[in-house]
Amino acid sequence: MTTVLVTGASAGFGLAIAQRFLADGAHVIAAARRLDRLQALAEQHPGRVLPLALDVTDRPAAAAALAALPAPFAEVDVLVNNAGLALGLSPAHQADIDDWERMIATNCAGLVNVTRAIVPGMVARGRGTVINIGSIAGEVPYPGGNVYGATKAFVHQFTHNLNADLIGTGVRASCVEPGLVGGTEFSNVRFHGDDQKAASVYAGTQPLTAEDIADTVHWLASRPPHVTINAISMMPNCQSFGPLQIKRG
Ligand code: NDP
Ligand code: 8X3
């Protein structure tokens, strides 16, 4: 039986990813700060979900909780580092530095905290898949993307460097880098609860869905053990790249 740890499983991609693996019969450790939501998921799948109250930015607490996983959840086969957020869309010279600090703490330090706690067990068992949720923002700069994009570039490069270290261990890492995805709390969080501004991001578009991301993550985890997919970049058809900017005069 496969055991999957999903961070940020209380909403959006993380919830869809947990549900996708549960549909396949897996055991899922559903981790996030909002425990009530995780408990609701656990009630729908008796005995197969471990709801885990986890703030990925709290390294000592995260390390303790992940070192004490009970059977049958103790041996993680698939780690999905999904917990993350964007905060604000202001230009760098006007952005809130507290927002910057929280993005770095969550998207970079938090992801590293969980990875460092889980990967040694995978190496000892000689098998495991780490799937990190990056973003198109880690590849393509856009105005206001500043620190958010930089944190996702970190996720991209950390994934590749993990594979450099893990060669020959049976453990592999992948980075999924989506563009516009609707139906999650991402933009509500980015705009600090401004629902109207959040909804305007998706107006007139057909964005990707959390289920599209969950399918991709599930596909990655189900590749044969000799296959490593380093990264997947994905966007809806309604999104593409723009030109570089030139300021004249
Ligand atoms: P949501 O806001 O819907 O979900 C984010 C999840 O992360 C929540 O479950 C939240 O749970 C959890 N989380 C946030 N901070 C912490 C923390 N400190 N510790 C533990 N869990 C935390 O966003 P999405 O599902 O849209 O985004 C998921 C990931 O995908 C993020 O990394 C995001 O950057 C990335 N992404 C999103 C895209 C999009 O357009 N939606 C596109 C590309 C990438 P709780 O609050 O309960 O702790
Ligand atoms: C989320 C995608 O383009 O809003 O990572 O940064 S974008």
* Range 47-71 average pLDDT: 98
The CB of 154 under 6 Å from ligand 1? The reply is no
The atom number, within ligand 1, closest to the CA of 10 reads 9
pLDDT at 79 (0 to 100): 99
Q: Is residue 20 part of a domain?
A: yes
DSSP 106: I
pLDDT at 179 (0 to 100): 98
- Is residue 185 within 8 Å of 241, Cβ to Cβ? no
pLDDT at 171 (0 to 100): 99
Residue with CA at minimum distance from ligand 1 atom 38: 181
| High-pLDDT (> 90) share of the chain, % | 99
Within 10 Å of residue 47's Cβ, how many Cβ atoms? Answer: 8
Q: Is residue 176 part of a domain?
A: yes
pLDDT at 156 (0 to 100): 99
CATH number at residue 92: 3.40.50.720
Q: Which ligand does the CA of 105 lie closest to?
A: 1
pLDDT at 206 (0 to 100): 98
Q: Is residue 244 part of a domain?
A: no
Q: Is residue 27 part of a domain?
A: yes
- Is residue 213 within 8 Å of 17, Cβ to Cβ? yes
User: Does an H or E element contain 81, and which?
Assistant: strand 78-81
pLDDT at 224 (0 to 100): 98
* Range 127-154 average pLDDT: 98
The predicted-structure confidence for 159-201, as pLDDT tens digits, reads as follows 999 999 999 999 999 999 999 999 999 999 999 999 999 999 9
pLDDT band, residue 219 (cuts 50/70/90): very high
Give the binding-site residues of ligand 2, using a 6 Å CB cut-off: 135-137, 145, 179
Mutate to test the pocket of ligand 1, among 82, 191, 205 (most ligand atoms within 8 A of CB): 82
What's the complex ipTM? 0.99
* Range 126-139 average pLDDT: 98
Q: Is residue 128 part of a domain?
A: yes
Q: How many domains does the chain have?
A: 1
Residue with CA at minimum distance from ligand 1 atom 31: 84
* Range 9-27 average pLDDT: 98
Q: Is residue 149 part of a domain?
A: yes
Q: Is residue 246 part of a domain?
A: no
The CB of 110 under 6 Å from ligand 1? The reply is yes
Residue with CA at minimum distance from ligand 2 atom 2: 179
* Range 225-242 average pLDDT: 98
| High-pLDDT (> 70) share of the chain, % | 100
Domain span including residue 224: 3-234
pLDDT at 97 (0 to 100): 98
User: Most distant CA pair in the chain: distance in Å?
Assistant: 66
Q: Is residue 117 part of a domain?
A: yes
pLDDT at 105 (0 to 100): 99
* Nearest C-alpha neighbor of 142 from the set 133, 152, 132: 152
Pair of tokens at residue 155: 């996720």
User: How do strand 231-234 and strand 27-32 relate by DSSP bridges?
Assistant: unpaired
